[in-house]
């Protein structure tokens, strides 16, 4: 599998994000997560309403102060208004603080719950899902999509409520103060709206290009840094610089577009607000002169202008938030809606203490329904404790057979029996606990060697881990590493050599004390000393267990109780090393061409 690349294309991001919000099912899914905190959410929304109200009070109080306090020369009234003004300011500020905290409290909890249940659901999905879906895509659901929903839940909702209320509230107040002047003032709104819509469309497209350009810069940089040795060895620095400068220049140009777009919009909006002020003065001034409205009302009108301009801008920002979080929600829900395949069915028989008899009865399998059969009517019986080596050319179905025994896949027809019981009747996780699996390129998790060995029991005593490693003969190897068992293996075990990684994965399988062992032998060569350790550890790991080994080493094949030769989904030979060699069939050929050269 290649490294995870979490880069989203701009096309993936935009698209039909908005349409999701009218699909009841997806939205309900999200709402259900939020309902758990409904009382806290309700309190937060009440706080939001109050914050908006106190915010709108300012210009109105100013009007009262001018018209009644100052014009009426009433110092008491003026004092009262001043105190009210301060009280509204303080109350609004405090409520705003509470609202901020409350929104975060609820939003972040919902986000956490959503993320956790998404991950739990992902781990319950079958291996087939993971082979069809790129790892990077899945990780992006857990990170990018959740982040998009977070920005909606934590900021978007608050912005929506407060902006809408402010807009509605301000309009109502203006019309109540003076309908004519309100109408005149509102005449700039259509222009503002049109300008904003155009700006949003342009800006979102331009920022999309910036994101792509930045991603290109990162990719170019990352490739050069990861491949610096190749670059320097082949003296490609000059060409690299030119290519990078070109990518970087595209990034500059894309950014420059955004400078032009916002350079036109934001000063434009400010100009529009000057125009609105002028309209109020022009129209309202005549009304004042005609004695139709008071000076206070006119001042309040100017004061309320920002209550129009700010919400329109923040609502237009919301457009983007809803679009990207809608797309995110759709993808998250699509994952949550994926039903795990029947290989992952939980419940059923407890495996108890398994003996480890394996039988395949007439098993056929194909990866795609109606596709080519990778295994064809395969029947096989492995008694308890037998050591079986599986050999054959690439694509013969060896790995597929191993995967069926782990129940990563289900036979298309036929049955796999373990201890005489249909594998489908077991509780799958309970069954797998009794099966040890060593992959060809063992996957280690970042952490210490100790933690990688005690994978199934993170709380196990170190002494037990050391005991297991000693029993395998690898204790000295591990304890001789710079920090012994506490050595950090780093991502995918990259700090260890290929041989050491294999030995850790042997120890890991040994530690879980399986009854059945399925092992895909590594093909890469290691130095003869490590090879010797691997051989020794392997025979100790297999002792007393039913085992199926996809073998590549001669020593492994020779020491097996039984050898199965597979070709094109069939078992074509079955016997021990000596007798098969004597038979001079496929095994003898394989022995000469592949196995013998050490």
Partner 1 sequence: MRTLIRMMKIFLGPHKVGVALSLVLALATTGMGMFVPWLTKLAVDRALVPQRGDLVTVFAAAIVGVGLLRMVFAFCRRIVSGRVALAVETEVRNRLFDHLQTLGLDFHLRSQTGQLMSRAIADVRAVRMFLGYGLIFVMTNVATLVGVTVILLLLQPRLAIMSLAPLPLILVVARAFSKRLHPSLWAIQQRVAELTAVAEERIMGIGVIKAFAIEHLQAEAFEAASDRIYRQNLEAAAIKGRYVPLLGMLPSISLMIILFYGGRAVIADQMTLGSLVAFNGYVMLLIWPMRMLGMLVSWGERAVASGERVLEILEESPTVRDSPRASALAAVRGVLEFDDVSFEYGGRRVIDGVTVRIERGETVALVGPTGCGKTTLAHLIPRFHDPARGTVKLDGHDLRDITLSSLRGSIGLVDQDPFLFSLPVIENIRYGVPDASLERVEQAARAAAAHDFIQALPKGYDTTIGERGLTLSGGQRQRVALARALLTDPAILILDDATSSVDAETESRIVAAIGGLRGTRTTVIIAHRPSTVMLADRVILMEHGKISQIGPPCDVPWEEILVREAEESLQRGIAAAPRARASEEEQA
Give the Cα-Cα-Cα angle 550, 553, 557 (nearest 5 degrees).
70
To partner 1, the closest distance from the beta carbon of 470 in angstroms equals 4
User: Residue 3, class by beta-carbon neighbours within 10 Å (0-12 exposed, 13-18 middle, 19+ buried)?
Assistant: exposed
Closest CB to partner 1 among 372 and 443? Answer: 443
DSSP per residue, 51-80: HHHHHHHHHHHHHHIIIIIITTT-HHHHHH
Closest CB to partner 1 among 218 and 379? Answer: 218
To partner 1, the closest distance from the beta carbon of 16 in angstroms equals 25
Tell me 559's DSSP state: T
To partner 1, the closest distance from the beta carbon of 80 in angstroms equals 10
Question: How many whole angstroms separate alpha carbon 536 and alpha carbon 472?
Answer: 8
To partner 1, the closest distance from the beta carbon of 98 in angstroms equals 7
Task: Look up residue 520 and give its two tokens.
Answer: 């895909």
To partner 1, the closest distance from the beta carbon of 173 in angstroms equals 18
**Token pair 């109050």 in the structure block, residue:** 50
Question: How many whole angstroms separate alpha carbon 512 and alpha carbon 429?
Answer: 14
Closest CB to partner 1 among 28 and 90? Answer: 90
Give the Cα-Cα-Cα angle 570, 576, 578 (nearest 5 degrees).
125
To partner 1, the closest distance from the beta carbon of 2 in angstroms equals 5
Reduced to 3 states (helix: H, G, I; strand: E, B; else coil), residue 349 is: strand
Q: In what order do the strands lie in the sheet with 516-520?
A: 435-438, 516-520, 546-550, 387-391, 562-567, 570-575
Question: How many whole angstroms separate alpha carbon 26 and alpha carbon 11?
Answer: 21
Reduced to 3 states (helix: H, G, I; strand: E, B; else coil), residue 63 is: helix
To partner 1, the closest distance from the beta carbon of 75 in angstroms equals 6
To partner 1, the closest distance from the beta carbon of 488 in angstroms equals 13
Closest CB to partner 1 among 183 and 267? Answer: 267
**Rg of the chain over all Cα atoms, to the nearest angstrom:** 35
Closest CB to partner 1 among 20 and 152? Answer: 152
- List of residues 6+ apart from 208 with CB closer than 8 A: 10, 13, 14
Query: Cα dihedral sign for 27, 47, 52, 321?
Result: negative
Q: What Cα–Cα distance (Å) separates residue 46 from each residue in 37, 105, 113, 158, 178?
A: 14, 15, 24, 11, 29
Closest CB to partner 1 among 79 and 183? Answer: 79
Question: How many whole angstroms separate alpha carbon 273 and alpha carbon 277?
Answer: 6
To partner 1, the closest distance from the beta carbon of 251 in angstroms equals 7
Question: How many whole angstroms separate alpha carbon 593 and alpha carbon 119?
Answer: 46
Closest CB to partner 1 among 393 and 575? Answer: 393
Closest CB to partner 1 among 381 and 524? Answer: 524
Closest CB to partner 1 among 104 and 364? Answer: 104
To partner 1, the closest distance from the beta carbon of 9 in angstroms equals 12
**CA proximity to 551, closest of 543, 559, 516:** 559
Task: Look up residue 413 and give its two tokens.
Answer: 């027809």
Closest CB to partner 1 among 357 and 475? Answer: 475
């Amino acid at each position: 599998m290649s490294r995870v690349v979490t880069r989203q294309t701009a096309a993936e991001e935009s698209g039909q994000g908005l349409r999701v919000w009218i699909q009841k099912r997806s939205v309900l899914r999200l709402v259900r997560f939020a309902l758990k905190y409904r009382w806290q959410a309700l309190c937060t929304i009440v706080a939001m309403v109050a914050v908006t109200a106190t915010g709108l009070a300012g210009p109105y109080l100013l009007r009262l102060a001018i018209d009644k306090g100052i014009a009426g020369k009433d110092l008491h009234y003026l004092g009262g208004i001043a105190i009210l003004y301060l009280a509204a300011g303080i109350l609004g500020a405090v409520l705003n603080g509470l609202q901020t905290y409350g929104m975060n409290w609820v939003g972040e909890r919902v986000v956490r719950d959503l993320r956790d249940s998404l991950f739990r659901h992902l781990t319950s999905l079958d291996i087939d899902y993971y082979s069809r879906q790129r790892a990077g895509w899945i990780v992006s659901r857990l990170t990018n999509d959740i982040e998009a929903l977070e920005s909606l839940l934590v900021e978007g909702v608050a912005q929506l409520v407060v902006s809408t209320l402010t807009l509605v509230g301000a309009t109502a107040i203006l019309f109540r103060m003076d309908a004519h002047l309100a109408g005149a003032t509102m005449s700039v709104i259509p222009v503002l709206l049109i300008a904003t819509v155009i700006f949003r469309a342009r800006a979102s497209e331009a920022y999309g290009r910036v994101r792509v350009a930045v991603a290109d810069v990162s990719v170019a940089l990352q490739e050069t840094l990861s491949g610096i040795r190749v670059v320097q060895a082949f003296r490609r620095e000059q060409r690299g610089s030119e290519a990078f400068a070109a990518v970087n220049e595209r990034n500059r140009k894309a950014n420059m577009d955004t400078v032009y777009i916002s350079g036109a919009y934001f000063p434009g909006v400010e100009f529009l607000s000057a125009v609105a002020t002028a309209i109020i003065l022009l129209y309202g001034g005549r009304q004042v002169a005609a004695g139709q409205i008071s000076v206070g009302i006119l001042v309040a009108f100017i004061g309320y202008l920002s209550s129009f301009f700010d919400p329109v801008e923040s609502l237009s920002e919301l457009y983007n938030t809803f679009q990207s979080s809608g797309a995110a929600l759709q993808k998250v829900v699509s994952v949550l809606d994926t039903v795990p395949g029947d290989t992952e069915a939980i419940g059923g028989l407890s495996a108890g203490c398994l003996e480890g008899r394996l039988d395949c009865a007439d098993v056929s399998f194909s990866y795609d329904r109606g596709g080519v059969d990778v295994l064809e009517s395969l029947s096989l019986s492995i008694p308890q404790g037998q050591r079986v080596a599986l050999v054959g050319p690439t694509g013969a179905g060896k790995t597929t057979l191993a995967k069926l025994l782990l129940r990563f896949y289900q036979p298309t027809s036929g049955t796999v029996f373990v201890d005489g019981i249909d594998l489908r009747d077991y509780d799958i996780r309970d069954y797998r606990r009794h099966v040890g699996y060593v992959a060809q390129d063992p996957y280690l998790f970042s952490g210490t060697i100790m933690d990688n060995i005690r994978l199934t029991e993170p709380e196990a005593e170190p002494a037990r881990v050391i005991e297991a490693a000693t029993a395998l003969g690898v204790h000295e190897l591990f304890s001789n590493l710079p920090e012994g068992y506490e050595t950090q293996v780093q991502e995918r075990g990259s700090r260890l050599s290929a041989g050491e990684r294999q030995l850790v994965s042997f120890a890991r399988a040994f530690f879980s004390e399986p009854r059945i062992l399925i092992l895909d032998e590594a093909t890469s060569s290691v130095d003869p000393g490590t090879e010797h350790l691997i051989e020794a550890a392997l025979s100790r790991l297999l002792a007393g267990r039913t085992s199926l080994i996809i073998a590549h080493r001669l020593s492994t094949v020779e020491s097996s109780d039984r050898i199965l030769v597979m070709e094109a989904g069939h078992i074509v030979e079955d016997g021990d090393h000596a007798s098969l060699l004597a038979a001079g069939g496929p095994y003898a050929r394989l022995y000469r061409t592949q196995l013998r050269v050490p």
